[in-house]
Structures are given as structure tokens and as C-alpha cells.
């Protein structure tokens, strides 16, 4: 945690951009996983029928 505070003191704009990029990567990862999950479950449902 101390590294984040130090980063904010040195360059707050850079830290904000880094956090936004980190959040965007998390969002992208979750979306991708949900998409793959949906495809796999849809295929399983078709197999059971």
C-alpha cells in the first residue's frame, strides 16, 4: 500500500491512469471469461437435449 501512496505523491496523474488501465483490464478479463462460460454452457445444454 505504501508504494501506491508514494506513487500518488510523486505523480498523481500517472497513478490515476495506471488504476484506470488496471480496472479496464479486469473488466476485459471478466467479460471474456463470462463470454467463454456462456458458450461452454450453451454447448452443454445442446448436448443434453
- With 70 as the cut, is the pLDDT of residue 1 above it? no
Range of the domain at 42: 25-49
What total number of domains does the chain contain?
A: 1
pTM over 0.85: no
**Average pLDDT, stretch 27-48?**
81
* Pairwise CA distance, residues 40 & 27, whole Å: 20
**Average pLDDT, stretch 21-45?**
87
Confirm whether 4 is domain-assigned.
no
* Cβ pair 14, 7 in contact under 8 A: yes
The 3-class SS string of 19-45 reads HHHHHHHHHHHHHHHHHHHHHHHHHHH
Give residue 24's pLDDT: 95
Confirm whether 11 is domain-assigned.
no
Amino acid at each position: 500500500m505504501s508504494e501506491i501512496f508514494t506513487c500518488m505523491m510523486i505523480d498523481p496523474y500517472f497513478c490515476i491512469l495506471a488504476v484506470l488501465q488496471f480496472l479496464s483490464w479486469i473488466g476485459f478479463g471478466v467479460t471474456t471469461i463470462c463470454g467463454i462460460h456462456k458458450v461452454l454452457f450453451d454447448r452443454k445444454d445442446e448436448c443434453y437435449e
